[in-house]
Each structure stands twice: as C-alpha cells, then as structure tokens.
Amino acid sequence: MLRIPLGQTPRYCDGISRRSFVQVGLAGMGALGLGDVLRGRAAAETSSKQTSMILIWLDGGPSHHDTYDPKPNAPSEYRGIWSPIATNVSGMDVTELFPLQAQIGHLFSIVRSVHHDTGDHFTGGHWMLTGRGGASGANTEQQYPYFGSIAGKVLGPRKPGMPANVCVPYAMSIGLRPGYFGGHYLGVEQNPFETEGDPNADNFQVTNMSPVTGLTLDRLSDRRSLNATLDHARRQLDKPGLADAIDQFDQQAFDLVTGSNAREAFNISLESPEMRERYGRNSWGQSVLLARRLVEAGSTIVTCHLGGWDTHWDHGSAMQSYLPRVDRLVHGLLTDLNERGLLDSTLVMLCGEFSRTPRMNDGGNGGPPLSKGTPGRDHWGSALSVLMAGGGLKGGQVVGATNRLGEHPAERPLRPGDLHHTIFQVLGISPDIAFLNPAGRPIPAIDHGGVISELV
C-alpha cells in the first residue's frame, strides 16, 4: 500500500482532525475483465445515450427544511428559518433564499422522501455514494466503489482525450480523500481525476496538465515509447491486472498532456465575464461552471465538492452565506445547459450525505465540541431532499413527501439505490452489471431499489 500524505482536512463534528491520503492498493485491480467492460460499453452505445452527469455534493449534510422541503405550518422550533416561496410550478415551494431557482422550477424536480436512516456522516456518505452501508465513524474505510467510478469504467469518456470521471476541486467525502468517491476494488485508475486549486482564482491552473519545461511533445512521445519497451519484461511477471491499470494511467496522462481538448476544457478563463458572474464569482460557482465545461468537452461524471454543511451551531448565519451561492450556481447551471441544448444530455443531481434534524437545537446540544451557544441542526438520515434535473428526466415534479414535521417520509419512501437505478438508466448502464471484489466474488453494481418512475 502506497500512502501519500496530502495534508490536514477540516475538523468535523466528532472533533477528529483527519489526515488525507492517496492510497494505492493492488487488490481487485482488473477484477472486471476487458471483455466485460467492452460488453458494458457496447450495451451503453446501443442504447443511443450519450448522457453525462454533474453531481453537486454538499459535504456535511444540508437541511431539507431550509432548502427544498420547508414546513411553514410546523411549530416554530421545527419549521424552516425562512418562509417558503412558490416556484413557477404549482405545489413546488422552496426557501425564500432560493429566488432564482423559484423562477425555473420547471427545469428541475425535487425528491423529498429519500432516507437511509443513519445519522453517521460516514455511513450516510457511503450509502449515498456507493449505494450500500458498511462504513462508519468507527471504521471509515470505503467498502464498495463510487457509482461514478462504475460509470467511468463502463462508459469511459464521452469524447476522446477527456478524463471520464472528474472531481472539482477534490474527491473528498466527510474529510476523507478520495473517501467514498474512490474506485475501490475497480482499481485506483477509476478514482476521479482531481483538478485541485480554486477555479475562481485568477491564476487557476490544473496540476499535471502541462509537459515538463523544455520537453517537446516529440521527445515526450519518444520517452513514453522507451518506457514501454523497458517495462515489457517486468510486466510479464506482474500481478494480473496491475499492468492494465498502469497502461490506463499512462494513456490518460499522455492524452491529457498532449491533447488540446482537455487543456481547453479546463481553461475556465475562456468563459466570458458575464457567464462567470451568472454562476457566481466564488469558488463554488466557478467549480460548477468548470463542471459544465468538462461535460461539454466529453467527461462523463463530474462532481463538485462544496463543503461546510455540518451546522450543529450558528446554522442561520451559515445558511445565509451558503444558500444564495447555491441558488445562483444551480440557476446558472440549469439555464446555461438549457440555452446550449445540453440539459437533456446532462443529468444534474444535488445532495449531501444526509439532512439536518427537523427540530432546531439550542446551540449547546451534545456538549463539547458542539457547545457553541447558537442554535443549529444535528444529523438526520431519516428524510432528505435531492434535486434532480436534466438527462431526459421530467422537470417540475415533486416526488414523495415527509410528514407534518419533516421527520420521515409519509409518501413514496425512497432509498439511495432508487437514485442510483435512475442515474444508471439515464447514463445507459445496465443495473445488472457486476464486478469481482478482492475475494473474487461478483458484486452487483446496485443491490436494491428501482428507477424513480415519476421522473422518467
């Protein structure tokens, strides 16, 4: 196991400061044979789908009461802090801090009845990103691959020369990198490509996208050929699957450095000042704008990591800062995709690992380190809202409902597997595809649920 330290991650509510690592493990590499991958890609191609996906990941867990499921008739200690406002779709209300989204309710749908029933950050994140439990605060190791890694492995990029699976700026869940965005037993070559940096910075540049100074592309190609020749004998003795993984890394790196498609796609400075303002001139808004550039250029899955939602205290102040930014970037993304004719071919999903408690705490709930003296909301996995748009799904739909206090689903309860079935149908992936885990056991990509019929 190769472990490369990447520095400290922020503290979460359990008070633990975690150090992130890139972990290169060999078990399970190449577990799915090339023939299986090719058959999966052929099936996807015959479906005539060329859909991509943008996941907006609100790490830490956003409150459904204060976003997409306000409860104005609930007691004051339960209902959302802000009043609801009507969207342009009858019966679809959102928080008043989402005035821009309220204008385009017809472009998105809200699923209000998702649940996995855990308040553990790690278990909840693992459920939402892999479709299974198994991880916890006591054992944070990833147990199954990220659904985006499955899509990247089966589909590859939608256009040559682009990475299939990208995270902006990091592949990070609950302070772990790559956390539950990793390829796990699919192999580290299925971990997302990370841009790093701040797309809003004037000097933003994706790391490792340029040749070494003084090394021409011809010399780089010659060097790559020499390395391949020298490696041939060693690879005859290599562990099965590892050589394939190295070859994929090598080819991807070469394509990124030598091809103009990726370099132009990652160059967000090519966007007009007006377009950049539409998404919001901040790191969140520009991350989402960069995601649009990447799917337009041919990436299949792009995840935007927007962290800081673990609001046990000072919840109101945090939401006043975060929600207007989310409002602008969602409005900017959906209207931009729609104008470019890309909305039907780009699935957008916004969610976190869970929601927050319907009932506000008093700011001292739980004792240290949670005693901050200002009210907040704690962990809640019994009901969360998910925004879905594009990809050929119906807009203007509200699927499911929570009870009067927003505590749990009262209508159409749905689980993470239902979301994943819907995603796979949109992308053109068979939900029956299976992969071998390190023990050689075939594991289906999805083990529960079905397509959310109201959206298709």
- The DSSP code sequence of 271-331 is S-HHHHHHH-SSHHHHHHHHHHHHHHHT-SEEEEEEE----SSSHHHHHHHHHHHHHHHHH
User: For residue 80, what pLDDT is reported?
Assistant: 82
Q: How many CB atoms lie within 10 A of CB 443?
A: 15
Mean pLDDT of 299-321: 96
pTM of the model: 0.85
Asked if 127 contacts 167 with a C-beta cutoff of 8 angstroms, the reply is: no
CA 359 vs CA 37, 71, 79, 124, 129: distances in Å: 47, 11, 8, 20, 26
Q: Does residue 283 surpass a pLDDT of 70?
A: yes
Asked if 99 contacts 111 with a C-beta cutoff of 8 angstroms, the reply is: no
**Per-residue pLDDT band at 76 (split at 50, 70, 90):** confident
CB-neighbour burial class of residue 342 (10 A; exposed 0-12, middle 13-18, buried 19+): middle
Provide the β-strand partners of residue 86.
93
Q: Does residue 282 surpass a pLDDT of 50?
A: yes
Question: Helix, strand, coil proportions of the chain in percent (round to 5)?
Answer: 35, 20, 45
Mean pLDDT of 41-65: 82
Mean pLDDT of 154-160: 96
**Mean pLDDT score across all residues of the chain:** 85
> When comparing pLDDT for 352 and 244, which is higher?
352
Q: Does residue 146 surpass a pLDDT of 50?
A: yes
User: For residue 184, what pLDDT is reported?
Assistant: 97
**Per-residue pLDDT band at 22 (split at 50, 70, 90):** very low
φ and ψ of 142, to 5 deg: -65, 140
Q: Does residue 133 surpass a pLDDT of 70?
A: yes
d(CA 120, CA 381): 8
Range in 5-9, 322-326, 435-439 the model is least confident about: 5-9
Q: What angle do CA 427, 127, 39 make, to 5 degrees?
A: 35
Collect all residues with Cβ–Cβ distance below 8 Å to 187 and sequence separation of at least 6. Answer: 28, 29, 30, 31, 241, 245
**Per-residue pLDDT band at 3 (split at 50, 70, 90):** very low
Q: Does residue 32 surpass a pLDDT of 80?
A: no
Q: Does residue 19 surpass a pLDDT of 70?
A: no
End-to-end Cα distance, the chain: 43
The class (CATH top level) of 2-211+240-455 is alpha beta
Asked if 328 contacts 32 with a C-beta cutoff of 8 angstroms, the reply is: no
Asked if 94 contacts 70 with a C-beta cutoff of 8 angstroms, the reply is: yes
HSE toward the beta carbon, residue 245, CA cutoff 13 A? 23
Alpha-helical runs (H) found in 17-61? 34-46
DSSP state of 179: G
